[in-house]
Amino acid sequence: MAVNVGDMAPDFTLPAQNGESVSLSDFRGKKAVILYFYPKDDTPGCTAESCAFRDRYETFTDAGAEVIGISGDSVSSHRQFASKHNLPFTLLSDSGDRVRKLYDVPATLWILPGRVTYVIDKDGVIRHIFNSQLDFQGHVNESMKILETL
């Protein structure tokens, strides 16, 4: 079942690059969440997207939001990726793609895991969904534009 704008964001718990478990519900009532699904650590497009979120991270936190990236990569891979590119936000390991399936993130050409960003308000409601495999900067720009209206 697909999630849509206006739906409550499905809760989940996944391990972060530091080994700690993070739940979406940890942020409910406290912060908006920019939840971005990406295909794979340290690939050109995913690096560009993650670094674009890194470069605007302070703007997101100043606006009351937390940025969280999710891919099927391991905790160890996320740790190396975050360290290599100085990523200040949480990366979650969704091995088995359980959360990707929960959010019904579509694959590109039925093969490549999709690149979709969800803007979730502090009450846990999905306010915007941006789906683009190639517009890496668009994920950041669209998220900030919507966040400014919350």
DSSP state, residue 116: E
Report the interhelical angle of 44-55 vs 136-147 (nearest 10°).
30
Active site residue 51: no
First to last CA, the chain: 26
Beta bridge partners of 8: 125
Interatomic CA distance for residues 142 and 58, integer angstroms: 16
Q: Distance of CA 83 to CAs 41, 52, 88, Å?
A: 12, 15, 9
Tokens of 17: 């690059």
Tell me the HSE value of 34 on the side-chain side, using a 13 A CA sphere: 29
Catalytic residue, candidates 35, 46, 68, 87: 46
Query: What sign has the CA pseudo-torsion 9, 10, 13, 17?
Result: negative
Give me the active site residues, please: 46
